[in-house]
Structure formats: C-alpha cells, structure tokens
Amino acid sequence: MELESRGIKCKTFWGTWAIIKNADAKIEDARSIEERGYYIQDISFETERLLSCTNYNLGNPDCISCHSISYRYIQEYGHLAEERRNKNTVS
C-alpha cells in the first residue's frame, strides 16, 4: 500500500493517511487487545472518511488509488473494528 500511495496528490488523503499509518504502526506495539482495538477503530474511522470524500471523482486515478487502499484496510481491520463497536454498545 505504501508504494501505491506515493503518487497520490490529495491533501485529504495525505492528512488522513498520516493518521492511518500512525495507528497501524501502534497496533504492532500495543500491549493489550483493548489498545489494539482503539487503534483499529481509528483506522476504521479514517478509512470511512476517505471512502465518503465529497471530492471523489471516478475518473481521477488518485481517487481510485485512495479508495483501493482504504478498502484494503477495511478488509484487514474492519471486522475487528465492528466487534469492538458491538462490544462497546453491549457493555
């Protein structure tokens, strides 16, 4: 995903990408499942922001790459974020 993101020219993407990459790195260092869940939820929130971008243009390769990267993060972490949300609403 790193290589795919290099050519994107979008302020919205880069601001959000920094948050996603930071949270992704912190997941590796997290000491508990709860801490990992916190960072996974950050990734989920930020990828949803990218996927609902009001400036999305199907003809723009940057937008297509952004959505592709976002969907891959959702595939990787989405189910865990959903479990965390459900756990928090039940508790």
Domain boundaries defined on the chain: 2-90
- CA nearest to 84, candidates 47, 52, 37, 50: 37
Specify the pLDDT at position 88.
59
The residues, ordered by sequence, that sit 6+ positions from 15 with a Cβ below 8 Å of its Cβ are none
* 58 secondary structure, DSSP code: T
What is the helix (H) or strand (E) element at residue 82, kind and residue range? helix 61-90
The model carries a pTM of 0.78
Flag whether pLDDT at 89 surpasses 60: no
User: Cα separation of 80 and 22, whole Å?
Assistant: 18
User: Cα separation of 18 and 39, whole Å?
Assistant: 13
Whole-angstrom CA distances from 14 to 3, 47, 57 are 14, 12, 17
Residue pLDDT, tens place only, 9-29: 999 999 999 999 999 999 989
Specify the pLDDT at position 22.
94
